[in-house]
Amino acid sequence: MARLREKNYDVTYIAFSDSENSNPGQNLRRECGEAINYLIKSAPIILDYKTRIFFESRQSILQYLVDYNRKNPPEVVLCPSSSSLHQDHKVIFEEAMRAFKRSSTILGYELPYDHNFNNDVNIRLEEQHIEAKISALNKYQSQSHRFYMRPELIRGHAMMRGAETDNAYAESFEALKIIV
């Protein structure tokens, strides 16, 4: 996202939950706002779906995405990868595929705990992009105890993906649908 901001792309970030039902009092809504405002120009859209039970709201989530696509058709959609083990990520992946299948390039982003991730698309990054990502993730103080939030892991993972592209850093995405 930092690279997209640097290039003046219009980026919208949609979070489907603030996780209040599973992480009460952790201020994830505020932390998400601070992190995303650090990376892109517009405020995030944060919806109120209850975590760990997105499957109960599949149709509503699909309708939200279809309506969004009608009003603001994006060129590129980033969503969880098909390999994410998180139950809510699976729902967002599947409904994004349905909602944007004819209109947008769809890339699945990699998370440190994804298994069998297909890194089909590698985007080269520079030091300032990694620093921005680490700074943004540091806004999530309530999540700082999680292993995947450690700056050295974020930097190391980007360095590993960078080595695959003969660059200092990169991020990888799964090519779910490419429209050129």
Indicate if the pLDDT at residue 41 is higher than 90: no
Q: Which of residues 25 and 11 earns the better pLDDT score?
A: 11
CB under 8 Å to 66, separation ≥6 — which residues?
A: 98, 99
Indicate if the pLDDT at residue 178 is higher than 80: yes
Q: Which option is the CATH number for 2-177: 3.20.20.70, 2.10.70.10, 3.30.43.10, 3.40.50.10320? A: 3.40.50.10320
Mean pLDDT of the chain: 94
DSSP 77: E
The predicted structure's pLDDT at residue 26: 72
Query: Helices (DSSP H) in the chain: which residue ranges?
Result: 2-6, 28-39, 58-71, 87-100, 127-137, 151-163
CA–CA distances in Å: residue 100 to residues 9, 50, 72, 86, 157: 19, 23, 11, 21, 29
What average pLDDT score do residues 44-68 get? Answer: 96
